Chain A
Amino acid sequence: MTIAASRRRVLALGLAAPLMLLCRRAGATPEAMAAAIEAFTGGGTPAETGITLDIPLLVENGNSVPITVSVESAMTEEDHVEEIAVFNEANPLPDVVRVRLTPRSGLGRFQTRIRLAGSQTIIAVARMSDGSLRRAAVSVIVTAPACRES
């Protein structure tokens, strides 16, 4: 009986080990993301309007996910988007990308491709030239996460 039980345990451990490896690599947490956002906003409260985060809601390949962040702005010297930061909560690090725009940009928008290590919420935060903040959050489902491919 004890032998059977321990055999079962050994088998279970063997099955769980690769899972634990995967989990260990997932370093960022919702708390780490919140801390990174806090550092970016300096404690300010972002508005939930005037910004769009465009990302597929169902991601088949987490290795390359197209995202577009658009911020409504005239992009004049007095009123423009200064910085946009994108954060995630399941990759090893909470930061994804930070871009700085200028009135010369003409449009408060950029596009890139990112990695996602699992289903999670992606948050884009924009800081305007007057210091105001805007935020957009999107929850995405990832069927083939980036970190499983080695």
Chain B
Amino acid sequence: MATAMVNIPETAAPGEIVEIKILISHPMETGFRPGMDGKLLPRDIIRSLRCEYDGEIVFTAELHPAIAANPFFVFHLRADRSGEITLVWADEKGNEFRQSGQITVG
């Protein structure tokens, strides 16, 4: 599982640039680290993250093993209408996770 804490503002003034934060609970195993048996632990990372505003892509990130465990991202969005902000993230096994929030502009 890759649960996350997401911070999406509930309200914004028209045209306001709001900050969106996400903290994903994930070990981000690099594949370069030996385990207790001395063998390398298999790589297991969150590979991608994207943010959509009513389906419109706002921000995408491609993550590499150099991203710290429990990936944390802060980015911005110019809000000019009420709508749904969705964050979608995926690991390398193809598991996709998403979380949404409603923003009210006015």
Contacts and interface: CB of A to CB of B under 8 A. Distances in A.
Contact of B74 (A88, A93, A110): A110
Contacts of B5: none
Interface string A4-46: 0000000000000000000001010000000000000000000
A112 B60 contact: no
Of the candidates B17, B64, B69, the one having the most CB atoms from chain A within 10 angstroms of its own CB is B64
Nearest to A122: B66
Tell me if B's interface is mostly helix, strand, loop or mixed. Answer: strand
Interface in B37-62: 53, 56-62
Count class of interface residues, chain A: 20 to 34
Contact of A64 (B30, B63, B69): B69
Interface string A95-107: 1111111111111
Nearest to A84: B61
Interface of B: 17, 30, 32-34, 53, 56-69, 71-78
21 contacts: A25-B32, A63-B69, A88-B66, A93-B65, A99-B59, A101-B75, A102-B58, A104-B78, A105-B77, A106-B77, A107-B75, A109-B76, A110-B59, A110-B73, A110-B74, A111-B73, A112-B67, A112-B72, A113-B67, A114-B66, A150-B33
